[in-house]
Amino acid sequence: MSNQTIATKFLLLGFSDFQELQILHFVVFLVIYLAALMGNLLIFMAIAFNHHLHIPMYFFLMNLSIVDFGSISVIVPKSMANSLMNIMSISYAGCVAQVFFLLFLVGADFSLLTVMAYDRYVAICQPLRYETIMNSRACVLLAAGAWISGILYSVLHIGNTFALTFCGGNMVDQFFCEIPQLLKLTCSDSYLSEVGVLVFSVCLVLGCFVFIILSYVQIFKSVLRIPSEQGRHKALSTCLPHLTVVSLFVSTGAFSYLKPTSSSPSALDLVVGILYSVLPPVMNPVIYSMRNKEIKAALRRLTGCR
């Protein structure tokens, strides 16, 4: 132990050692970041400025746009700056902040997706009670609960991860601070407590995912009983985008955290990191605006396009 040094900063994994490829990485991430910014901002403004969309489903979607923009802002600008300035380091405090805000926003994201599934279940399976159950107060409480659950989820991980001693080097095999990669650097015997928290997190996510799937089983049963084809199409147009977003979020996140961590850095780690941290915030506005006629109409009015 006397020859081991305590980490005061971390080195993040770069996409390339060649300056030309680093500039390419900067440009690609800049385009992705601007696309996520524009898409989520347009969704937010379209809902905020259109009184016809001031209903629970779009209220939660507006919160989701804020979360998506925040989550990609935690990771991408730092990675862009590192590539542009040809540095890979991040301070210990910066790594703590990055992990905290990322887990906070990811936890709030999945909580909102679960709440949105419940909202669709009530709207389609219990339409006569919808306005009573999903009133303004209930929507605010559910949204606040999603944000608070994200904070608690993040604090739980932060308290367990950064209470450990990092003396196994300071090279993080990812382009941002990621808990599975940080655990590889610890030399503390209490790392099993964080592993236990990760297992608890996986069980919690799977529980929410099962709740979402069961909700949609009931939704599709109710949709099949709708007599008119137009009614079935309208119900599916509001449900399928949400189910697509949930599938994208869960599949990429689960693959990243459940796959075995390699002892050496690999291109697969970088690709998986992009899939669950960068791709969903970019794709969510596209998915929600593709099949939803009300969102598309609101976006056309907002941008003045016909």
Model-level pTM? 0.85
- 70-125 tens-digit pLDDT: 999 999 998 888 888 888 888 888 899 999 999 999 889 889 989 988 998 898 88
- Which of 2.40.50.140, 3.30.1370.160, 1.20.1070.10, 3.20.20.70 is the CATH number of 9-303? 1.20.1070.10
- Across the strands, what pairs with 166? 186
Helix spans in 126-228 (H): 130-133, 136-161, 179-183, 191-224
Q: How do beta strands 171-172 and 9-12 pair?
A: parallel
**Share above pLDDT 70 across residues of the chain, in percent, rounded to a whole number:** 85
Q: Amino acid identity of 98?
A: Q
Q: How many CA atoms lie within 13 A of 283 on its CB side?
A: 16
Asked if pLDDT for residue 9 goes beyond 60, the answer is: yes
Q: How far is CA 44 from CA 68, 146, 205, 291, in A?
A: 11, 18, 26, 17
- 227-261 tens-digit pLDDT: 777 666 766 666 777 777 777 777 777 776 666 65
**Dist CA 247 CA 113 (whole Å):** 10
Q: Is the distance from CB of 112 to CB of 143 less than 8 angstroms?
A: yes
Amino acid 59: pLDDT: 93
- 140-151 tens-digit pLDDT: 999 999 999 999
| Residue ranges of E strands in the chain | 9-12, 89-91, 171-172
| b/e code 282-303 from CB counts within 10 Å (16+ = b) | bbbbebbbebbebbeebbeebe
